[in-house]
A and B are shown apart, each in its own frame.
Chain A
Amino acid sequence: MGEKRFMKGNEAIAEAAVRGGCRFFAGYPITPQNEIPEYLSWRLPEVGGAYVQGESEVASINMVYGASAMGTRAMTSSSGPGISLKAEGISYLAAAMLPALIVNISRGGPGLGSIQPAQSDYLQATKALGHGGFHAMVFAPNSAQEAVDIVYDAWEYAERDRNPVLVLMDGCLGNIMEEVELPPMKELSDDDIPEWSLSRRNGRDYQGNITPIYTEPILEGINMMSGEMYKAWEEDDVKVEEFLMDDAEYVVVAYGIASRVSKEAILKLREEGFKIGMIRPITLFPFPKKNLHDLDYSRVKGIIDIEMTVPAQMRDDIALQVMERAPIYEYGRSGGMLLDDDGVYDAIKEIVTGGNDNG
């Protein structure tokens, strides 16, 4: 059995990272994720790890690049504007085939935007975390507990794929305190240091090169391998929650904090007899395409995309699977204005009772 604590989402992420084997963090202050570096600044030295407050987001992601190249489980965290600055380094991580965990506790955008919570970085996370057409697996937990479970195993994916992993949460989930059950510390030894790394602690006695630069035919080959990897993710790694979908006539699609507010509204509307269900992507990339594609569209009358951002950013991914077999509606709040139970309830009710022609 794990250990139960009442923790802020940000701190739960930090502790789960340490227990998942993280031994290096570099980051730069930005609201609403500051509890992650603050926690790790004292926690990592306790377990023999290193914490560096970088001079910028740019430097921080490159510090992670250096640590990861040594086979150390390394991470950084930031929020939208900082993730934009890290884009260069994330692209280099992907190019050099280096694992890392990147956490985005998102806020209102674009630009400096608002420091208040918003789900404004879906497109950045899933389409272009940096230049060059690469992807990272993107996880979007909807509670501190799910964040703990995902972060704890983030390096299992990252090291398997030799590719960065992104955890995307909003400032609300990052700052909310709730109960979490913490898993035990993963005990890793020098033998666990990957052979491809530049570490010599694992007994490697030959030259190692890690580079984001390739000659043309090799780079093309690497691009093709990446393409195969992304396809394999779709087969093997999609995580999704289906809620009350068996008879659903209207399907809410929501992730992260929006899915929790939506679930509350759906339960209330079910009591009133409305047949509403929800598909909650837990991985935003790979996106749960099949769940949306294979719906019984003779029964489903509409899809409702609910996000804490305006305009909705997931809509195109949904539309590619719905293929005009049902109208797609959207509801959201944005700019740091939060979704709330009543607002989402009213919006869904208006749609299912035909009062919304936003399809």
Chain B
Amino acid sequence: MAEYHRSDMLAASPSGYCPGCLHSLATRLISDVITELGQQDNALNVISVGCSALNLLYWSGDNLSVAHGRAPAAATGVKRTNPERLVFAYQGDGDLAAIGLAEIMSAANRGENFTVIFANNQTYGMTGGQMAPTTLIGQKTTTTVYGRDPATTGYPLKMCELISQLPAPAYVARFALNSPKGVREARAGIKKAFEMQLAGKGFTFIELLTNCPTNWHLSPLDTLEYMNTNTIPYFVPGVYKDITAKEAQA
């Protein structure tokens, strides 16, 4: 029988994420992979702004908390001066795809040898559920009370599709955390990204489709179903770029 115990990387306190929030699961997956790779002392978590900032309370490895949207820039400073470290940033959709769009695209384009994990839940959770750059068309938020209208707010940004167009990134993949299969694939994807970083392969990008029961005004279970019918058809999971796949073929 498999044992289930708290990950080494997480502090011995209950999660403060809302009940049913997949940030908790994402955090758990990352910490498990770091433990599995024996990188507990070497990992450095660049913590962004939004609900993701709560990781500062739960994470028991080295943490650098930075300004909104600037995690890829700060991680650049970290990794360029300490290339031996396993550096990753965990960013939400407002942080990464709105205010930090220049930083993420530029770090990806420079092929910075760190990993960005992008939690896409289509809303600004921390500030109370405003429209995010990834909010779906028609999705209601506190700033799109009749649903997102592309005529005035444009379309949800597909970050994997954008980043995978750049020559430099090594691995770009999207996973949905609303099913056991998706969770298993995400865990393997995170592990692959970290292994590639440790091997010096360059920029790795993992998008995790998550939820926000509080601001979507749905029960946790209903958010998982909402993701199946609304999120996943638009933000299609899959590996968008993998330079090691080409290496394997060659």
Contact = CB atoms under 8 A, between A and B. Distances in A.
Given a CB threshold of 8 Å, the question of whether A touches B is answered with yes
Interface stretch (A32-40, A113-121, A196-204, A264-272): A196-204
Interface string A77-98: 0000000000011001000100
B67 interface: yes
Interface string A54-85: 11101110111111111010100000000000
B150 interface: no
B74 A63 contact: yes
Contact of B78 (A58, A69, A88, A200): A69
Contacts of A211: 47, 56, 63-65
Interface residues on A, range: 35 or more
B77 A198 contact: no
Contacts of B46: 66
A212 B63 contact: no
B44 interface: yes
A210 B70 contact: no
B195 interface: no
A294 interface: no
A208 interface: yes
Contacts of A96: 65
B127 interface: no
Given A55-B103, A200-B42, A50 B64 contact: no
A23 B66 CA distance: 21
Interface in A18-39: 23-24, 26
B77 A66 contact: yes
Interface in B8-54: 41-42, 44, 46-47, 53
17 contacts: A50-B80, A55-B106, A58-B70, A59-B73, A59-B102, A59-B106, A62-B70, A63-B80, A64-B77, A65-B73, A66-B75, A66-B78, A69-B74, A69-B77, A72-B77, A72-B81, A208-B62
Contact of B82 (A56, A70, A207, A213): A70
Nearest to A74: B77
Given A24-B80, A205-B41, A66 B66 contact: yes
A50 B81 CA distance: 7
B80 A89 contact: no
B206 to A, nearest CB: 20
Where chain A touches its partner, the secondary structure class is: mixed
A58 B53 CA distance: 20
A92 B67 contact: yes
B65 A212 contact: yes
> Which residue, of A50, A70, A201, has the highest number of chain B Cβ atoms within 10 A?
A70
A52 interface: yes
A68 B61 CA distance: 18
Given A56-B102, A72-B81, A205-B41, A63 B63 contact: no
Interface in B53-94: 53, 56, 60-67, 70, 73-82, 85
A23 B81 contact: yes
Given A207-B61, A212-B65, A63 B42 contact: no
Given A54-B73, A59-B76, A66-B66, 10 more contacts: A24-B77, A58-B102, A63-B74, A65-B66, A68-B77, A69-B74, A69-B77, A72-B77, A92-B66, A209-B56
A60 B82 CA distance: 17
Contacts of A88: 67
A209 B66 CA distance: 11
A106 B75 CA distance: 29
B67 A67 contact: no
Nearest to A92: B67
A66 B65 contact: no
Nearest to A91: B67
A170 to B, nearest CB: 28
Centre residue among A50, A89, A200, A209 by max chain B CB count within 10 A: A209
B64 A63 contact: no
B41 A200 contact: yes
Interface in B153-198: none
Contacts of B44: 198
A65 B65 CA distance: 10
Contact of B64 (A64, A66, A72): A66
Contacts of B70: 58-59, 62, 65, 89
Which of B65, B105, B106 is the most central at the interface, judged by chain A CB atoms within 10 Å of its CB?
Answer: B65
Contact of B80 (A58, A67, A69): A67
Contacts of B63: 198, 207-211
Nearest to B67: A92
Given A56-B102, A63-B76, A66-B75, A207 B62 contact: yes
